[in-house]
Amino acid sequence: MVDCLRGLRGSPASIVSEYAALLRSYNVSTVTGDAYAGTWPGDEFRRHGIRYAAAELNRSGLYLELMASLNSGRVELPPDLVLSRQLAALERRTGRSGRDAIDHPPNAHDDRANAVAGMVATASIPSRRGGQVTVMGLY
């Protein structure tokens, strides 16, 4: 179940600071994200005592994991209009190499959809400790 979904606007540094406080309130000390902004997210989260790990899957892989989890009923999404619109707008395209890619349409956004897909894909990986896994996606 995705029980916390937030979208913040403002300076990236202040957003990371606010998310770091939220992460600590959930006892989360590691986040997973992409390499879109280079090393900056990792450096900024580290300033707040949060480890930033690179995602194993690319965007398309995350969306495929999300689709499988949704279709099997393993995940419940919160009622969020922006998330619903972003998920509904996703497109599957075949690239020049013949491989399929799932992405947002040109000039559109998928920040919430991508964060939720990352959370679901990360939670799908079995925990080494067993038990409940707390996962948080940031955008």
Q: State pTM to two decimals.
A: 0.81
What pLDDT was estimated at residue 125? Answer: 64
What pLDDT was estimated at residue 36? Answer: 78
| CA separation for the pair 121, 62 (Å, rounded) | 6
Encode pLDDT of 62-113 as tens digits: 999 999 999 999 888 989 999 999 999 999 988 888 888 899 999 999 999 9
pLDDT for residue 12 is more than 80: yes
What pLDDT was estimated at residue 138? Answer: 47
What pLDDT was estimated at residue 132? Answer: 45
Supply the angle between the helices 40-47 and 12-25 in degrees, to the nearest 10. 50
Let me know: does 36 contact 47? Beta carbons within 8 Å: no
Work out the mean pLDDT of the chain and round it to a whole number: 85
**Domain locations along the chain:** 12-124
- Please give the backbone phi and psi of residue 121, each rounded to the nearest 5 degrees, phi first: -65, -40
pLDDT for residue 48 is more than 80: yes
| pLDDT bucket at 139, cuts 50 / 70 / 90 | very low
Helices marked H in the chain — which ranges?
Answer: 12-25, 40-47, 59-72, 81-89, 111-124
| pLDDT bucket at 134, cuts 50 / 70 / 90 | very low
- Which residues make beta-bridge pairs with 85? none
Let me know: does 2 contact 76? Beta carbons within 8 Å: yes
Give the architecture-level CATH label for domain 12-124: 2-Layer Sandwich (3.30)
